[in-house]
Structure 1
């Protein structure tokens, strides 16, 4: 192992297929300081998903044994990260592509760290409580920022409301990132156990990843210390806005104004574009056409729709049609459709999301053919991680199509979900 670590060079990728831990964050930072780019991946990936991603990313090293993290930490000490981790995202291609920022010069690397520190106030006194899996970009960014500032990170393991509540008592965390599903489960647990623990240690509770129901937002503001709760909007590709909850009380539904160093513009059709500094630019690994479509000058889009008010506050009118956000996890319909279409009894298939009180959206599949539902569920379980597997299947005689033959997913949302965000 020592010899293989010594061969890692600038620009090499290291795929991490192990559960998150404090050591995990240290290794990500140590690799990035040496210009070696970590590729955080869900350790639950099926062989189908894993092989496709690894074949595209071509990592110099694949880490599947948590013990290897100790070797990496010894070989690559924490320092100034010279790149961003390469997270993967899918979209309309139906296959995940790495979001690649390249290797940054020292000035750009320092600017990247500084803008996160200045926005979120990371400091040596911080204790960051990790709630979401660290292979996701947002929780990893908060943990990295905390360690770089000299603070401490606590990783209690897979989400469990009781464990998380006990950890709040024992560790006195100052910051955490959550998605609305976490909040709903925490509040339900506190209701069943006599109330929340002492939350006075928190100075920052940030949430994102899905629309937060108004009642959950109100309870969040009431439960945590005044001025500590924030929402932000962004994607794997980049961060766009940030907003204190107090601002949202005056402007219900906003996700905030452009964060420092960003500029927002909305096209006539509602497409959101975000101008970014040089250190926040990216490309899709091995996908120049997809990269070109995402950029216009120094601004990028992921296809989300919204509107700006006169004071520059952004309101989302809907995530793009090819994205479902379930429990804070991005699910791209085309990727799921490719798996289900492999069944010989499926002639046509469309995957979509419908509103769900617990998950934000629930993944559903509509198909034409004589395939047995249980066989489709088994196929999904074999090839997709749990968040991507449809929870509901609908067998139809025909799928709704446009005049050019494109599936009208939003018609399926109307039919089976009851409501959808206005467009």
Structure 2
């Protein structure tokens, strides 16, 4: 794995933060400022915004109008930010697609979003070529393009003048629904300027130990198609920080990049923490992490022992936050967490409330569904789910928690059945549906079981069909079958075989009994 570094730390000195806010304005007023560094090559804000304007002008020439959709199946790279920034100043929705999804899952999102433009990296093209040509009029490949697809270079070979008309667009992230089918979280668009939304992003960063007006170097080591690493790095780009982009997470490469590039911030999930802590002690002890000012983390519960070890190593610079595609809830500094272990922060009581099952506001210490003030949104094509997620000006993603007497919030469950593994949401219904397609499976239930590295691992409780027996060959066959249906990271890591499957008289799976079966193993 190549590491994005320059060897001389003094080369990382940056000019003072300009008065302008937003990557577009930085491209005009501070064009030589480094924006993105990848594989040792620097792209300045001027170069970045030149490509952004080319994309925006291309979208306009194709007749795309406010509210149309551009989707991207993209590896970590500058193109994610180019397309996102172009959509955000063109009144378009940008849909980043998880690159680990299986081809049918990618095709579903492309079709469901009604994308007018699809941009993919060449190494991912086999997931869409031959599948979406009838649905997407404009198809672009970064790299060698097949027939009936445009190359990214030719697609963007247009004027880089600032577009005559600019209006605020939006990301439209896909999040799984209760049936396992992803749903696009779509917010209404306005005629506001692209810069009008940036102040809230700066405020968000200031709550995570990154005050406005301070230049920095942010290491992107997680997939940018995820809302957290993609969204936070985009905010930091708008604030004038330089992004150092790695293709993915490799503990040694990350540690090396932090020291050699004098990284000031990064975003991780607890699994990343554990992989760093698992490195040889002499390697960690010799690493220079003195430049780090803030490590952001979210996406999965962090085991207390892991968090204590990280703080002991890098200092009290870990900033945890609770949020989802639907909105942000609260943030927590290391100092607060050390005083209140397990908390995710102290939310504004006017902005976050807990409601019990009977709809009453939960009292301190009482469990309740977490509701937070959120800008309007809808789940694309699912009005019932959209209505269920709202309560006046409040919204929920279904998380359950409690608030203590001091006002600190603790998350008790990440939705009723949701599995969080390595910071990624996995829905049991989707995995169960894939397994039920195998002739050897008569019935199945999927649960998440605590795992020291991943937070949770996927476990399947299976009742076998007649004529099939529990053996290693069947486990291999089931694993291969699931890999062909859904993304590999969703597959069960463990199978438990039972003679009688625990369903209620109403036909519902008793997940409590499934967990009891797993505990007995």
- Please report the TM-score for the alignment, with normalisation by the length of structure 2: 0.74
Determine helix, strand or coil for the equivalent of 1:106: coil
- Between the aligned partners of 2:510 and 2:227, the Cα distance in structure 1 is 30
- Between the aligned partners of 1:415 and 1:75, the Cα distance in structure 2 is 63
**2:305 pairs with 1:215:** yes
Q: What is the aligned partner in structure 2 of residue 175 from structure 1?
A: 265
- Between the aligned partners of 1:288 and 1:218, the Cα distance in structure 2 is 43
Match of residue 275, structure 1, among 352, 361, 372: 372
- 1:1-400 aligned within 5 A: 6-7=61-62, 8-64=64-120, 65-67=141-143, 71=155, 82-106=168-192, 109-120=197-208, 121-123=211-213, 125-191=215-281, 193=283, 195=285, 197-226=287-316, 228-258=317-347, 262-267=351-356, 270-277=367-374, 280-370=375-465, 372-400=474-502
CA-to-partner distance for each residue in 1:364-408, whole Å, 9 max, x for gaps? Answer: 112222363322211211122221111112222222223422101
Q: 1:74 to 1:28 in 2, by over 3 A?
A: farther
Determine helix, strand or coil for the equivalent of 2:171: coil
In terms of mean alpha carbon deviation, does 209-218 or 76-85 score higher?
76-85
Shift of 1:83: 4.0
Is contact 1:230–1:244 with CA below 8 Å preserved after alignment?
yes
Is contact 1:355–1:417 with CA below 8 Å preserved after alignment?
no
Q: 1:196 to 1:208 in 2, by over 3 A?
A: farther
Superposition RMSD in Å: 2.7
CA-to-partner distance for each residue in 1:31-65, whole Å, 9 max, x for gaps? Answer: 11211111111223212211222221111111113
CA-to-partner distance for each residue in 1:118-169, whole Å, 9 max, x for gaps? Answer: 4343545121111210010000111101110111111111111111111112
Q: 1:300 to 1:73 in 2, by over 3 A?
A: farther
Is contact 1:364–1:390 with CA below 8 Å preserved after alignment?
yes
Shift of 1:73: 10
- Between the aligned partners of 1:276 and 1:184, the Cα distance in structure 2 is 33
- Between the aligned partners of 2:158 and 2:395, the Cα distance in structure 1 is 38
Is contact 1:275–1:300 with CA below 8 Å preserved after alignment?
yes
User: Which consecutive residues of structure 1, in runs of 5 or more, have no partner in the other structure?
Assistant: none
- Between the aligned partners of 1:385 and 1:89, the Cα distance in structure 2 is 15
Is contact 2:176–2:182 with CA below 8 Å preserved after alignment?
yes
Is contact 1:15–1:38 with CA below 8 Å preserved after alignment?
yes
User: Which consecutive residues of structure 2, in runs of 5 or more, have no partner in the other structure?
Assistant: 1-54, 121-140, 144-150, 359-366, 469-473
In terms of mean alpha carbon deviation, does 394-403 or 234-243 score higher?
394-403
Determine helix, strand or coil for the equivalent of 2:346: strand
Is contact 2:418–2:426 with CA below 8 Å preserved after alignment?
yes
- Between the aligned partners of 2:284 and 2:344, the Cα distance in structure 1 is 32
Is contact 2:372–2:396 with CA below 8 Å preserved after alignment?
no
- Please report the TM-score for the alignment, with normalisation by the length of structure 1: 0.90
Determine helix, strand or coil for the equivalent of 2:434: helix
Determine helix, strand or coil for the equivalent of 1:113: helix
- Between the aligned partners of 2:282 and 2:518, the Cα distance in structure 1 is 32
**2:509 pairs with 1:407:** yes
- Between the aligned partners of 2:284 and 2:410, the Cα distance in structure 1 is 36
Is contact 2:202–2:212 with CA below 8 Å preserved after alignment?
no
How many residues end up aligned between the 2 structures?
416
